[in-house]
């Protein structure tokens, strides 16, 4: 059923494609991670977002350890097929630092400042310091 979709997806030489996760109702950009074909298929099958971890070289079921899952609301593909946009319903926080979004650092007047505080502690998410 998704053959047409996969025929349009342009994976990189490593078989991966970047996926932007955006909170479906607020529009907040939560994070960017990578997916391979298997992680996309699993996300579509389960309705829960699964990425591919480049550092661990295996499927990364978002929230499996932390409980901070992402329900997949809609998957979109860009014009040249090399980026995905995932509209998600984020449970809790997206970032391993305990912040809602990974994009909490802004460059303002040449200085980096934190524009969001942790809503929960990494210890409470992972049972240890990350």
Q: Are 11 and 36 in contact (CB under 8 A)?
A: yes
What the block records as the tokens of 100 is: 């809602």
CA 118/CA 11 separation, integer angstroms:
34
Q: What is the chain's length?
A: 130
Looking up tokens 């946009």 gives 85
Assess 88 for contact with a second copy (CB under 8 A).
no
The residue from 47, 106, 119, 126 that contacts a second copy (CB under 8 A) is 106
CA 29/CA 86 separation, integer angstroms:
10
- In the bound state with a second copy, the residue whose beta carbon lies nearer, of 58 and 76, is 76
The residue from 59, 77, 89, 92 that contacts a second copy (CB under 8 A) is 77
Assess 16 for contact with a second copy (CB under 8 A).
no
The residue from 56, 57, 111, 127 that contacts a second copy (CB under 8 A) is 111
Least distance to a second copy from the beta carbon of 104, Å? 7
CA 50/CA 84 separation, integer angstroms:
13
Binding stretches for a second copy (CB under 8 A)? 1-2, 4-5, 8, 18, 20, 22, 26-29, 31-32, 44, 74-80, 83, 85, 95-97, 99, 102-108, 110-112, 115
């Amino acid at each position: 059923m998704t053959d047409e979709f996969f025929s349009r997806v342009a994976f990189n030489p490593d078989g991966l494609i970047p996926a932007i996760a955006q909170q479906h109702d607020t529009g907040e950009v939560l994070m960017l991670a990578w997916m391979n074909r298997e992680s996309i298929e699993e996300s579509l099958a389960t309705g829960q977002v699964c990425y591919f971890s480049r550092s661990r070289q295996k499927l990364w079921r978002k929230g499996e350890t932390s409980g901070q899952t992402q329900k997949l609301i809609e998957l979109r593909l860009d014009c040249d097929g090399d980026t995905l946009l995932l509209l998600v319903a984020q449970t809790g926080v997206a970032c391993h630092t305990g912040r809602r979004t990974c994009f909490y650092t802004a460059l303002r007047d040449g200085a980096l400042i934190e524009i969001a505080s942790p809503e929960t502690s990494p210890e409470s998410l992972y049972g240890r310091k990350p």
